[in-house]
Amino acid sequence: MTERKYFGTDGIRGRVGESPVTPEFMLKLGWAAGQVFRREGQRNTILIGKDTRLSGYMFESALEAGLSAAGVDVRLLGPMPTPAIAYLTRTFRAAAGIVISASHNPHYDNGIKFFSANGTKLDDKVENEIESWLERDLTVAAPERLGKASRVEDAPGRYVEFCKSTVPSAFRLEGLHLVLDCAHGATYHVAPNVFRELGAKVTTIGVEPDGLNINLNAGSTHLQGLKGKVLEVQADLGIAFDGDGDRVLMVDHLGNEVDGDQLLFIIARHRHQAGSLNGGVVGTLMTNLGVEQALEGLGIPFQRAKVGDRYVMEALIHNDWLLGGEGSGHLICRDRTSTGDGVVSALQVLEAMWHNNETMASLCGGMDKLPQTMINVRVEQRFDPLTRDTVRAAVAAVEERLGANGRVLLRASGTEPLIRVMVEGRDRVLVESVAAELAAVVKAEAPA
């Protein structure tokens, strides 16, 4: 397959003002997407949602103009979680959905994610088709065929009701005190309502977006604030979302972090006990070995996919399984929704707590995580570190020291100029030491 010029593993992403994250490019991208998704003989509609970044206003207008020029109507959703756009794309029977977001990145980054009419991420073929239109000259539809734009005023309420519909009608959260950290991002105005309407007492942090503070020392990538607030108010549980709401991590009542691997195991075990798992579980190359061993002990099949939610979804569809996810908290419950959804995933975990009448700390007891360290090595340009003889030799030496109960994984980030160095094993001191050694080797071999 020809290497794509713009699309990465999760759409298009970069620093605002630097190619391709510019208003000129976004106008052309809107037009190109309109050409690909337009259905002849129909009044085509594409939804646009965004997170809370200041640059979202600029890119929303540019995409709207490009789509209109292609003869496609636009429904503007405003700030909404990424999975909400996936859901609303399905319910509005839209041709596609567009999300303006850079997920867990800082405010100075932004990007674009697309959803198909079915609310799923686009396959490579469709992304390649959009890229081919980007190479053509922009043409404008006849004046009478230009697209119209309108706002969807009830989008938040629609999504709140959808989230509540993913748990049993008897499910209630009375007596539970939750702290929600919404990362000053797209869940700030919907997540608190979901949990309050289900009966929980809710304390919130990270719900005052100003366009620049998204993910800033908040949310699923910075759990210190959530830990502190849980302990301060003596809450039963803390729940952290990322900037666009497709990831979730938790903190138990003692202030202990609960990552995506643990949450995945909790949901899988509950569904297995309830007889509703319907197959196995998909993780990634980064999934902690402890998950695999714990699932194996329950007789639950487990498969690793490449890192990235799109690859988890591909494996789930191939196997006709329902549950998968990543340690970052990007979990997919295919029988509930069509993409990773932080709020929906949190509700599945809370359902396990409610059904078993257990605390989060107790639920985590069924899985022993192996010590795992990941170091992000920032590089000037992405490269495959395993093409370097020095790196391969260093990896081989580390693997020999770790033995059969250890793993090493080097991979380039699909969204940032980083090489991720992951080491896992039984001895934490050894794991941290050899990870630092490998990171230094990778840094030394990185192209200038």
- The pTM of the whole model exceeds 0.75: yes
Burial class (CB in 10 A: 0-12, 13-18, 19+), 322: buried
For the stretch 358-388, pLDDT in tens is 999 999 988 989 999 999 999 988 888 999 9
- Determine the average pLDDT of the residues in 79-98: 97
For the stretch 157-169, pLDDT in tens is 999 999 999 999 9
Phi, psi of 21 (to 5 degrees): -90, 70
Would 12-153 and 372-445 be classified into the same CATH topology? no
Q: For 299, left (φ over 0), alpha (ψ -120 to 50), or beta?
A: left
CATH class of the domain at 372-445: alpha beta
Q: Which residues contact 323 (CB under 8 A, 6 or more apart)?
A: 264, 267, 268, 271, 277, 281, 282, 316, 331, 332, 333, 334
Residue 340: CA count within 13 A, CB half-sphere: 30
Q: Which residues contact 258 (CB under 8 A, 6 or more apart)?
A: 249, 250, 251, 252, 360, 364
- Determine the average pLDDT of the residues in 424-442: 94
Structural domain boundaries of the chain? Answer: 12-153, 159-257, 258-366, 372-445
Question: What letter does residue 322 receive in the DSSP assignment?
Answer: -
Name the band, by pLDDT with cuts 50, 70 and 90, for residue 1.
Answer: very low
pLDDT value at residue 2: 56
Selecting among 101, 103, 328, 345, the annotated active-site residue is 103
Is-catalytic flag, 103? yes
The answer to whether domain 159-257 has CATH 1.10.1050.10 is: no
For the stretch 17-74, pLDDT in tens is 999 999 999 999 999 999 999 886 677 999 999 999 999 999 999 999 999 999 999 9
* Distance, CA of 382 to CA of 397 (rounded, Å): 24
The share of the chain scoring above pLDDT 70, in percent, equals 98
The CATH fold of domain 12-153: Alpha-D-Glucose-1,6-Bisphosphate; Chain A, domain 3 (3.40.120)
CATH class of the domain at 258-366: alpha beta
